[in-house]
Amino acid sequence: MTDFDYDLFIIGAGSGGVRAARMASTYGAKVAICESYKVGGTCVVRGCIPKKLFVYASHVAEDFESAKGYGWSGDAPTFDWRTLLANKDAEIERLNGLYKQTLSNNNVDLYEKRGVLVDAHTIDLEGETITADKIMIATGGWPSTPDIPGIEHVISSNEAFHLESLPKSVIIVGGGYIAVEFAGIFNGLGVETTQLYRRDMILRGFDEDIRQTVQKEMFKKGVDIRVNTDVASIEKTDDGLVATLNDGSTLTADVIMYATGRVPATGNMGLEALGVAMRDNGAIIVDENFRTSVDNIFSLGDCTDRLQLTPVAIAEAMAFTATQFNNTPTPMDYEDVATAVFSQPPVGTVGLTEEEARSQYGDVDIYESDFRPLFHTLGGSEERTMMKLIVDKASDRVVGAHMVGLDAGEIIQGVGIALKCKATKAQFDATMAIHPTSAEEFVTMRDPVS
């Protein structure tokens, strides 16, 4: 025990913060956590969970069309936006309650207030002062928008979950996974959707074949993707929001949503005054044990701007608490982290892109498969699935696996285990296929492409 109120105080009750609080308490520490909004953080409140629910909702119309090929008939279902919002909100409240219960069950004190650092061991909670031996910053990230005329008229993904009515038209600015996912959501719900991206192809940083396939399939579904295009200014008129583009042309829509990146939510917390080192974008700089430049202050999750993924923040919390409170030094492993993009069709990916693999290993073999899934043969959709394996020729180890198509996220999770175990292409080949599935393609691709 220490002379402080708590052994560990955590600012930010998102996925990483809550896991760190629970585990540190399990190891015997006296722990408290503060949160100024809902417990659960970006993922539960305004990210992964509500977004995935919206993706499900937006796919129903397409599923109904597919059902006709399987003998189902009848009037097309009607959609009510406010019902979706109400049901989504109820689920978020349920999860918020579960997170609070988890903290309570693990003897973690929750302060539903904003925390600001007074000194290296003191936190101000809207007038109440708390002290702690160790402090963890886990405040996550926040959407960022450019400084252009009229930017005050736009929304971000935060507000997209709370629109009072479903717009008839929307412009989405950005080419990353959030922009791509919301383009699919709005388009699937019948909204005239235009996506603008200032570079030549969406999903920068992903494998090139993934990018090309997703962009092509989104076009086929009706999303108007305009690359090499950016917004110069926005004006609010009686007809809606008018975006003037960089070529001088204009577009009008009911809603303009920006998904042009997220920045660490570290401002106005007292970090600068304490000398906590940060990068220009506000990301907190930490060492391999999540320690900042101030010895007893730590940070993890999106506010450190490494891999902005919920499971990564949770794993970081597990490593941090084992190291600090269980006398078990635990390094964090960021290699071969599997992830998914819930675009339409979805993406699953793990390991290196082809470009990265060629740079790192030189001589690689590429295996690809492109096909129309069995479900669509009667369903009528022309949507295709693309799968790809990247193999280091010298060792035969599979160093990258990528997929676009139905259930990509579900399928790539298992493939991620194989890559983590450093499986070889020969071991993939020796694995018996499950037929008929799309997943079997990962173990039946025999001939590398030229």
Q: What is the pLDDT of residues 421-435, one digit of tens each?
A: 999 999 999 999 999
**Residues 6 or more apart from 404 whose CB is under 8 A from it?**
210, 213, 214, 217, 345, 346, 347, 385, 386, 387
Contact of 134 with 7, CB cutoff 8 Å:
yes
* pLDDT greater than 80 at residue 1: no
Q: Measuring CA to CA, how many Å separate 140 from each of 14, 38, 277, 282, 410?
A: 7, 13, 17, 11, 26
- Domain 6-142+263-325, CATH among 3.40.50.880, 3.60.110.10, 3.40.640.10, 3.50.50.60: 3.50.50.60
Instruction: Report the alpha-carbon distance of residue 401 to residue 57 in Å, rounded.
Output: 28
What pLDDT is recorded for position 248?
97
Local structure of 357: helix, strand or coil: helix
Task: Classify the C-alpha dihedral 40-315-33-297 as positive or negative.
Answer: negative
Bridge partners (DSSP) of residue 60 are none
* pLDDT greater than 90 at residue 16: yes
Bridge partners (DSSP) of residue 339 are 349
The closest alpha carbon to 281, from 269, 263, 307, belongs to 263
pLDDT band (50, 70, 90) for residue 450? confident
For 310, what's the count of Cα atoms within 13 Å in the CB-facing half-sphere?
15
Element (H, E) at 410: helix 408-420
The closest alpha carbon to 56, from 73, 72, 79, 75, belongs to 79
Q: Is 405 left (phi over 0), alpha (psi -120 to 50) or beta?
A: left
Instruction: Report the alpha-carbon distance of residue 180 to residue 173 in Å, rounded.
Output: 10
Instruction: Report the alpha-carbon distance of residue 4 to residue 237 in Å, rounded.
Output: 57
| Backbone phi and psi for residue 160, each to the nearest 5 degrees, phi listed first | -60, -25
DSSP codes, 299-318: E-GGGG-S---HHHHHHHHH
Contact of 193 with 172, CB cutoff 8 Å:
yes
Contact of 242 with 250, CB cutoff 8 Å:
yes
Active site residue 402: no
The closest alpha carbon to 271, from 50, 118, 70, belongs to 118
Q: What is the pLDDT of residues 369-414, one digit of tens each?
A: 999 999 999 999 999 999 999 999 999 999 999 999 999 999 999 9
DSSP 434: P
What pLDDT is recorded for position 133?
98
* pLDDT greater than 90 at residue 26: yes
| Residue 153 identity | H
| Backbone phi and psi for residue 175, each to the nearest 5 degrees, phi listed first | -130, 5
Instruction: Report the alpha-carbon distance of residue 164 to residue 357 in Å, rounded.
Output: 46
| Backbone phi and psi for residue 94, each to the nearest 5 degrees, phi listed first | -60, -45
Residues of the chain with CATH 3.50.50.60: 6-142+263-325, 151-260
Provide the strand spans (E) within 227-322.
231-237, 240-245, 250-253, 255-258, 262-264, 297-299
- Catalytic residue, chosen from 59, 121, 162, 435, is 435
| Long-range CB pairs of 230-238, under 8 A, 24+ apart, other chains included | 230/173, 230/196, 230/198, 231/148, 231/171, 231/173, 231/196, 231/256, 232/148, 232/149, 233/148, 233/149, 233/150, 234/148, 234/149, 234/150, 234/151, 234/153, 234/154, 235/149, 235/150, 235/153, 236/150, 236/153
What pLDDT is recorded for position 77?
87
What pLDDT is recorded for position 2?
64
Q: What is the pLDDT of residues 38-62, one digit of tens each?
A: 999 999 999 999 999 999 999 999 9
DSSP codes, 95-163: HHHHHHHHHHHTT-EEE-S-EEEEETTEEEETTEEEEEEEEEE---EEE-----TTGGG-B-HHHHTT-
- The whole-number average pLDDT for the span 9-32 is 98
Mean pLDDT of the chain: 97
What pLDDT is recorded for position 192?
98
- Domain 339-443, CATH among 3.30.390.30, 3.40.190.170, 3.10.129.10, 1.10.10.10: 3.30.390.30
Task: Classify the C-alpha dihedral 89-60-310-119 as positive or negative.
Answer: negative
Q: What is the pLDDT of residues 172-184, one digit of tens each?
A: 999 999 999 999 9
Residues of the chain with CATH 3.30.390.30: 339-443
Residue located via tokens 């412009």:
171
Instruction: Report the alpha-carbon distance of residue 161 to residue 151 in Å, rounded.
Output: 19
CATH 1.10.10.10 fits 151-260, yes or no: no
Q: Is 248 left (phi over 0), alpha (psi -120 to 50) or beta?
A: left
The closest alpha carbon to 59, from 346, 361, 279, belongs to 346
